[in-house]
């Protein structure tokens, strides 16, 4: 059902890069560069320390459609580190270089893939990193090695608990909920980028497969008996099952912040989920920004604005049970988000007659929106310009904020309007 198409054998041509993998690599590269730039926000900082675990690393090289060699995820990660270092030096006009103390641990259960990867890493100029141990390779099942690598990440970053896990499983059942929970309970600032082939699971969904999936992953409550019955299932069953899955994975993982977007299928469904789970809102915001940067390749089957899943998964369906106008992270999606938020923000503030600070307002909604913080902030500022809401400073005085909101700025409906339902 989910047999691997990825064979790396020394001396042979590497596997072909599939489109969804190219999209994942582009997102991973940009996300990591932006993440490092965010981590090092001032030129005074001179060191970054973290562990990156590539849990399903493959052989590190592919052939693309033009027949050219292209990097696999371990090389993408190493190149992103170099790019971020170079950009920091240039953009912050640094006098002293920044030290990136990054350990990359690559795991694959295929000894042949690891052998190929070590050859590629030497060939690409990373021999010193292999020798020094700053790049390590391990052969084995990710789940069995998880304890060891979580402990290593914790040893290297005992206070901050910073680590990124890239879990590009082929299929949907190789990363149990208990392992995700372990990562987030042991590492305070962990992040997971998890691939999940939803379509593969849904296409073969039957009682036996569901039981196997639940036993292997601990992800329960995905489908009802009616969803399994081909005759009786509702036209919305796929979207309902996706929503249940998302709910179970996010609530069971122990992470605080999530993005649930899909690599855009070429035709029909073909949904490939790229879930990002993290413990810090900033990481979630950087990942959401990366989806907007790659708007041609990502899709969200849900609503714009806030409340993206509860109404979204089932709301936009035509007679063939397909989403009508999916959200594609483009200009149309951006305008739709802003439009929805222009109505939703004053309505939400109606629940807080005394006002609520921007930080709390945003963090309470971050998991419910495909918008970035910058988009939410710019919508709030538009509402301020239109006198729909007002900003109050720490001293209780109304502020004339035009450009940037501070976390402690209090948002509220104007006093004379707060007794009425917002007019939009």
Residues at the site binding ligand SAM, with contacts judged by CB under 6 A: 4, 6, 21, 56-58, 72-73, 107-110, 113, 141-142, 168, 170, 174
Least Å distance, CB 9 to ligand SAM, is 12
- The least distance separating ligand SAM from the CB of residue 400, rounded to whole angstroms, comes to 49
Cα→Cα distances 258→34, 191, 271, 279, 299, Å: 17, 10, 18, 9, 15
Q: In this chain, which residue has its C-beta nearest to ligand SAM?
A: 72
Question: Whole-angstrom Cα distance, residue 347 to residue 340?
Answer: 11
SS3 helix, strand, coil % of the chain, rounded to 5? 40, 15, 40
- Taking the least distance from each CB to ligand SAM, the nearer of 196 and 306 is 196
In contact, 357 and 408? CB cutoff 8 Å = yes
**End-to-end CA separation in angstroms for the chain:** 51
Give me the least distance between CB of 50 and ligand SAM, in Å please: 19
Give the β-pairing of 47-54 and 162-167: parallel
Of 32 and 389, CB closest to ligand SAM: 32
Which tokens in the block code for residue 211? 């039981």
Parallel, antiparallel, or unpaired: how do β-strands 298-299 and 272-278 relate? Answer: unpaired
Q: Which two tokens stand for residue 97?
A: 């270089």
* Other C-beta atoms lying within 10 Å of the C-beta of residue 377: 16
Nearest residue (CB) to ligand SAM, 108 versus 285: 108
- For the beta carbon of residue 280, count every other beta carbon within 10 angstroms: 16
Number of alpha carbons in the 13 Å side-chain half-sphere of residue 376: 28
Closer to ligand SAM by CB, 84 or 106: give it: 106
Q: Residues 409, 357: contact at Cβ < 8 Å?
A: yes
Q: For ligand SAM, which is the closer residue by CB, 113 or 286?
A: 113
Please state the closest distance from residue 401 (CB atom) to ligand SAM, in A.
44
Shortest separation between residue 335's beta carbon and ligand SAM, angstroms: 34
Residue with tokens 């002293």: 96
146 versus 391: smaller Cβ distance to ligand SAM:
146
Give the contacts of 252 (CB within 8 A, at least 6 positions apart): 177, 180, 181, 218, 219
Taking the complex as a whole, the smallest distance from the CB of residue 111 to ligand SAM amounts, in Å, to: 10
Q: Which is nearer to ligand SAM, 21 or 137 (CB)?
A: 21
Least separation, in Å, of the C-beta of 421 and ligand SAM? 50
Tell me how far, at minimum, the Cβ of 211 lies from ligand SAM, in Å: 20
Q: Residue 108, SS3?
A: strand
State the Cα–Cα distance between residues 327 and 315, nearest whole angstrom.
Answer: 12
Q: State which residue, 83 or 109, has the beta carbon closest to ligand SAM.
A: 109
Q: How far is the CB of 48 from ligand SAM (least distance, A)?
A: 23
Pairing outcome for strands 189-196 and 162-167: parallel
73 vs 288 by CB, closer to ligand SAM: 73
């Amino acid at each position: 059902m989910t047999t691997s198409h990825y064979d790396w054998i020394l001396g042979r041509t590497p596997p072909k890069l599939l489109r969804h993998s190219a999209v994942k690599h582009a997102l991973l590269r940009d996300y990591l560069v932006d993440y490092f730039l965010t981590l090092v926000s001032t030129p005074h900082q001179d060191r970054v320390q973290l562990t990156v675990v590539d849990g399903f690393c493959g052989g590190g090289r592919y052939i693309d459609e033009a027949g050219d060699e292209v990097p696999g995820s371990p090389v993408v990660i190493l190149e992103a580190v170099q790019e971020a270092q170079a950009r920091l030096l240039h953009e912050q006009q640094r006098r002293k270089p920044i030290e990136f103390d990054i350990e990359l641990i690559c795991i694959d259960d295929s000894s042949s893939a690891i052998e190929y990867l070590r050859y590629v890493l030497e060939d690409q100029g990373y021999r010193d990193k292999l020798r020094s141990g700053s790049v390590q390779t391990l052969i084995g099942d990710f789940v069995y090695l998880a304890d060891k690598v979580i402990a290593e990440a914790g040893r290297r970053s005992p206070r901050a608990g910073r680590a990124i896990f890239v879990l590009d499983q082929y299929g949907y059942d190789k990363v149990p909920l208990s392992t995700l929970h372990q990562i987030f309970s042991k590492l305070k600032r962990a992040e997971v980028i998890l691939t999940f082939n939803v379509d593969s699971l849904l296409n073969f969904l039957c009682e036996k497969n569901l039981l196997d999936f639940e036993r292997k992953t601990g992800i329960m409550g995905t489908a009802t008996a009616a969803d399994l019955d081909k005759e009786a299932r509702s036209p919305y069953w796929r979207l309902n099952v996706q929503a249940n899955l998302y709910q179970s994975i996010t609530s069971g993982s122990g992470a605080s912040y999530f993005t649930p977007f899909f690599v855009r299928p070429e035709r029909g469904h073909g949904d490939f989920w790229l879930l990002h789970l993290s413990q810090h809102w900033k990481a979630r915001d950087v990942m959401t920004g990366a989806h907007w940067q790659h708007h041609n390749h990502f899709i969200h089957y849900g609503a714009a604005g806030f409340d993206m899943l509860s109404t979204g998964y089932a709301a936009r369906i035509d007679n063939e049970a397909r989403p009508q106008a999916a959200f594609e992270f483009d200009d149309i999606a951006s305008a739709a988000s802003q439009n929805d938020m222009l109505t939703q923000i004053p309505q939400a503030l109606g629940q807080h007659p005394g006002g609520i600070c921007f930080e709390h307002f945003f963090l309470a909604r971050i998991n419910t929106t495909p918008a970035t913080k910058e988009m939410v902030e710019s919508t709030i500022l538009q509402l301020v310009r239109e006198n729909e809401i007002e900003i109050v400073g720490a001293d209780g005085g109304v502020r004339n904020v035009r450009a940037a909101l501070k976390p402690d700025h209090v948002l509220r409906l104007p006093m004379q309007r707060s007794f009425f339902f917002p007019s939009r």
